[in-house]
Amino acid sequence: MASPNQQYHGATFKPHKHFAANSPFFFKKTNLYTLALLLVLCTFSYLFGFWRHDGGGRSVLSVNKSAATATTNTIVSTPCDPSKATTAAPKGQKPLDFSSHHKADDLDSTFTSEVKTYPSCNVNFSEYTPCEDAKRSLKFNRHRLIYRERHCPKKHEILKCRIPAPHGYKNPFKWPASRDFAWYNNVPHKHLTVEKAVQNWIRFVGDRFRFPGGGTMFPNGADAYIDDIGRLINLKDGSIRTAIDTGCGVASWGAYLLSRNILTMSFAPRDTHEAQVQFALERGVPALIGVLASKRLPYPSRAFDMAHCSRCLIPWAESGGQYLIEVDRVLRPGGYWILSGPPINWKKYWHGWERTKDDLNDEQMKIEAVAKSLCWKKFVEKGDIAIWQKPLNHLNCKVTRKITQNLPFCPAQDPDKAWYTSTETCLTHLPEVSSKEDVAGGELPKWPERLNAVPPRISRGTLEGITAETFQKDTALWNRRVSYYKAVNNQLEQAGRYRNILDMNAYLGGFAAALTEDPLWVMNVVPVQAKVNTLGVIYERGLIGTYQDWCEAMSTYPRTYDLIHADYVFSLYDGRCEVEDILLEMDRILRPEGSVIFRDDVDVLVKIKKISDGLNWDSQIVDHEDGPHQREKLLFAIKTYWTAPAEGGRHETTTSS
């Protein structure tokens, strides 16, 4: 079990030594004038070399009078002594400390007059989710749960303050202990321990929560429930890698699938089940706030090998079957939809569900009819579990559609477009095939071969400008870059230091792919402003992610991520929205003592550094992995530990030192 006072030890990085060039003068004895000239030249060479060695040869970034001067550093080697948790900084700069300290004495932060500082928000905002704000949601229609969808604040409503962590906040337990335990102070809500006590979701013990792994329809635990599913479909051969859990609760299903190398996107609305997604994230399980309503889910078509609903209370047969139609869009050809809970096995449970037999039977018949209209086949129903399978292609479906005229195909559309895109009552087209045995869109290798195989969306030429060679070069590039990151911050190599990671501009998922051997997961974001929509490629690699507009807040709770990677995010959003608003959102979703890696043009990084200083982050600009002569640089930053004050007290803060 992890200790609340455990210490992490960080990286060291050093600047290259700058060697003075020796002038290759070869001479013979000549007259006195020649010797005097040589003496002057030698003296100048010595002084020039001394100046370079003393720091003049380092890359100095000049900015205008209102900006800070930053000195770049290049790695020479990985640290010899990993017990030292600080970076070797240039003269006059404070070393970075990637360690996690949990608590520290109160310190007053001071800044120069040139740096704009950002105050703490009121403690009432400690769990603020800007685009899922409960008060704002009441202004919207309750029909089809529209009020629980994303509704972001207008520009003048955006907060310009830092979201505080609750008083007494501690770094989460290390994985895999975090699957079973979370600190009470981090998510101080006992509501679910009472409401879901019988269902074994969560229990409160001393200063922590315990997650027994139970669920409404799996009182014997998620592990046993998954074993039951595994007796019906193969969960072990690598053919099922990505899954989606609708109405996930505290995400125990996704948590226990991780040991089977299945990566689950769990989502649930911010509703009366207080903080269920927040508990999932605190456990180190991938999750987002989300709801099946009037808009498409923020995922591409053909993304998931398996979809799941365990008493998720989604009215699958209502609204023309639109909720199940949306599951069909994101489900891969040949993928499975698993349903447990009402109305499945209603003959056994109807009395406990306090519904009539006729009502439950009618609901199941309607679900069966919608599934049939999607050309799904009923794979199996056994006990409390029913499973349907999506066809490999739509050849037969097109024939039956002409006969039955049931649920027409959607008109020409982009099935991967899914950012504020309305759902439709029509069947999403699958890519064309030539025979009934062909997998629409291309067959995927099994995991783990899937990770580095050329994804079908690329091999079939459906993404403009991206070829198999592009993919392979990108994979090699990110392997090298991640090795460099680990040399700068060797805590990336320490199991458990970082668990929840966000890549804000993931492209082909190379950053996440380079980290798959580590005990962590990466949420890969493809910005909606990106030139090419590559999120489908990321899913074809067996990774997960979402769409996002970084001019808006992300659908997640504060303190979600341990590390954030921002590759040219700020260049992408230049002129679209304020830099400070993106950084404030990053501050909101980053844990205390979490880390950020920025990669961008040096001028952009200098602006970011100035604002991050106002956020009370420790940061330092570092040279590109190819050396100091690249305009592209890196900015490594650490969010300092601070929390809301105890009642009537001061903010609890510390610098990373």
pLDDT along the chain (657 residues), means of 10: 40 34 37 62 62 41 35 35 43 59 39 77 95 92 92 96 97 95 92 59 89 81 95 98 93 95 95 79 97 97 97 92 97 98 95 94 96 96 97 92 80 94 95 96 98 98 97 98 96 93 98 97 98 98 98 98 98 97 98 98 97 97 96 98 82 52
Q: What would the pLDDT profile of 384-437 be if each residue is shown by its tens digit? A: 999 999 999 999 998 887 767 689 999 988 999 999 999 999 999 999 999 999
Given this model, what pLDDT does residue 636 score?
98
Half-sphere exposure at residue 544, Cβ-oriented, CA atoms within 13 angstroms = 30
Residue 81 pLDDT: 40
pTM of the entire predicted model: 0.84
What is the Rg, in whole angstroms, of the alpha carbon atoms belonging to the chain? 28
Of 68, 10, 85, 19, give the one whose Cα is nearest residue 48.
Answer: 19
Domains of the chain: 214-403 (3.40.50.150), 449-639 (3.40.50.150)
Sheet holding 632-639, edge to edge: 545-548, 521-527, 500-503, 561-567, 590-601, 632-639, 617-622
Instruction: Classify residue 74 as exposed, middle or buried by CB count within 10 Å of its CB (0-12, 13-18, 19+).
Output: middle
Sign of the four-CA dihedral 453, 454, 457, 463? positive
Give the pLDDT of residue 413.
87
What pLDDT does 190 receive?
79
Q: In this predicted structure, what is the pLDDT of residue 147? A: 94
- Closest C-alpha among 171, 173, 199, 179 to residue 259: 179
Question: Chain-centre distance of CA 547, in angstroms?
Answer: 11
* Tokens describing residue 216: 């409404």
Residues 508, 509, 513, 514, Cα dihedral to 10°: 90
Strand locations in 490-631 (E): 500-503, 521-527, 545-548, 561-567, 590-601, 617-622
How many residues comprise the chain? 657
Pairwise CA distance, residues 52 & 166, whole Å: 48
CA distances from 565 to 72, 109, 634, 642, 644 (A): 19, 26, 11, 22, 26
Based on the number of CB atoms within 10 Å of its own CB, is 288 exposed (0-12), middle (13-18) or buried (19 or more)?
buried
